[in-house]
Amino acid sequence: MTESKTDVANNEAHRSPTIASLRGLDGLNFFLADVRDGMGPFLGTFLREAHGWGTGRVGLALAAAQLGTVLMQTPAGAFIDQTRAKRLAVILAIAIIASSFFAIYFVPLLPVVIMSQAVIGGAATIFPPAVAALTLGLVGRATMPVRTGRNEAFNHGGNVAGAALAGGAAYVFGYGAMFLVVSCFAVASVAAVLMLRESEIDHELARGADNGDQQVVHGNRIGDLLRDQRIIIFAISAVLFHFANAAMLPLVGQKAGDGIKGGAAALMAACIIVAQLVMIPVAIVSSRLASSWGRKPVFLIGFAVLPIRGLLYCLSANPIYLVAVQLLDGIGAGIFGVVSVLVIADLTKGTGRFNLTQGAFATATGIGAGLSNLIAGFVVHEAGFNAGFVMLAVIAAGAAAFYFVAMPETKPRHETPSVACVDVSSQPIESFSS
């Protein structure tokens, strides 16, 4: 016997996972931040300083991780849609990444490092769709907006903690300590996954196979999804967002490096940390506003700060000024991280392709980010840093205009601020201050 739409909606609104599962979701987002991003910018420093690698070899190693990520994002999303062993998939990905880090540390030869980096980049693609799927499957659509904001807040907090611990440990104990920090975060991530109770995860809901009074058993074909103009419009908007955004911080580092030389690394670290700190409250606030205002106006705020940020970078090379402008990145990226997941969840409801679509979007935005760095670098080489920033600002403004004109609102009619917030606050863990 099939449930009525009202019954399904009521079940959605009253999903009540245990506090243990919700704490596990918090811990997973916090600790995976360091595992997913790996050594990040510290890997290049380790290879250069500890093993004398040149910039060309370091670049190959970093590019290998990016290639692995781009190639595996869409397949990883499709896999998470199909499997019910989502917790096991996350644990295996963590184990693969940790093993690859040890291979880099103990055998820092070019072929080993490149292969390990490619494996790390590919395995890490499991995490975003798996976390989103586990979240939707645990808390339901009614609580998804606020819960997604909380996920992102813990993720950014984990990024700050991981960077601070890795940098501090390397300074005090040497580069080997950075690998120990990542290993500790990996173990903690596994412990957090195991806190999620399998019996509380609705795997059909987790892949977006819910649609009123019916469930989609096999999922829509990819071609069916591409017939939805809203998906195409949002994909173009997301790619343009990353195209305008990705090259800004690297250009800031290069511009500042011309004036402060040895202090450029410290400036980059400060820019990254302040942006991540801003993203924490932005993620929480934007998730709540996405339920009350709708997805479109909140996403437009994220778009609006991009051209402003690009133009402000043209005005000065003062380090304190540049760090202050970088606060705007925390607003834009913080909003994108939350609202993009909600929009994709809205657009794929009833398709059974929620995570596949996330993977495809991640692949597209990764390509956009790569093109951003490539084209901006060429413009800067030919016309200077300010020309590069102006170009990115113009693209951002055009992207915002395109999104405003072409993209409709996707917020479900039945979703209200009271539903989204009451469900969350009814659980003690759902207060961020806990």
Supply the pLDDT for residue 20: 93
Supply the pLDDT for residue 2: 42
Supply the pLDDT for residue 51: 81
CB 241 within 8 A of CB 399: yes
Domain boundary residue, one of 140, 163, 197: 197
Supply the pLDDT for residue 223: 65
Q: How many CB atoms lie within 10 A of CB 14?
A: 12
Name residue, tokens 């059909």.
Answer: 204
**CATH code assigned at 324:** 1.20.1250.20
| Tens digit of each residue's pLDDT, the chain (434 residues) | 344 444 444 445 457 889 999 999 999 999 998 787 666 667 777 787 778 887 678 778 877 888 888 889 889 998 999 999 999 999 999 999 999 988 998 998 999 999 998 999 899 999 999 999 999 999 988 888 889 999 999 998 988 888 788 777 777 887 778 888 888 999 999 999 999 999 999 999 998 887 654 444 455 566 666 778 899 999 999 999 999 998 888 787 777 655 555 555 566 667 778 888 899 999 999 999 998 899 999 999 999 999 999 999 999 888 788 888 888 988 998 999 899 999 998 998 888 888 888 888 888 888 888 788 788 888 888 888 889 899 999 999 999 999 999 999 988 876 655 443 434 434 443 433 33
In-domain check, residue 210:
no
In-domain check, residue 7:
no
Domain boundary residue, one of 130, 162, 197: 197
Supply the pLDDT for residue 319: 79
One-letter amino acid for residue 367 of the chain = I
Is the domain of 189 the same as that of 231?
A: no
In-domain check, residue 351:
yes
Domain boundary residue, one of 163, 197, 231: 197
Closest CA to 39 of 71, 65, 73: 65
According to DSSP, residue 409 is labeled: P
Supply the pLDDT for residue 179: 84
Closest CA to 86 of 122, 116, 118, 128: 128
According to DSSP, residue 218 is labeled: S
Is the domain of 187 the same as that of 281?
A: no
Q: Which two tokens stand for residue 38?
A: 């790996």
In-domain check, residue 434:
no
Is the domain of 25 the same as that of 143?
A: yes
In-domain check, residue 297:
yes
Domain membership of residue 122 as a residue range: 16-197
Is the domain of 262 the same as that of 353?
A: yes
Supply the pLDDT for residue 378: 84
Is the domain of 164 the same as that of 245?
A: no
Is the domain of 270 the same as that of 136?
A: no
Is the domain of 231 the same as that of 329?
A: yes
Closest CA to 354 of 340, 367, 368: 340
In-domain check, residue 346:
yes
Supply the pLDDT for residue 268: 66
Q: φ, ψ for residue 345 (rounded to 5)? A: -65, -40
CB 344 within 8 A of CB 66: no
Is the domain of 41 the same as that of 174?
A: yes
H or E segment to which residue 429 belongs: none
Non-local (6+) Cβ contacts of 36 within 8 A are 124, 127, 128
Q: Helices 127-139 and 354-383: crossing angle, nearest 10°?
A: 140
Q: How many domains does the chain have?
A: 2
pTM for this model (two decimals): 0.80
In-domain check, residue 86:
yes
Is the domain of 281 the same as that of 187?
A: no
Is the domain of 187 the same as that of 276?
A: no
Is the domain of 257 the same as that of 395?
A: yes
Supply the pLDDT for residue 46: 78
In-domain check, residue 271:
yes
Is the domain of 192 the same as that of 249?
A: no
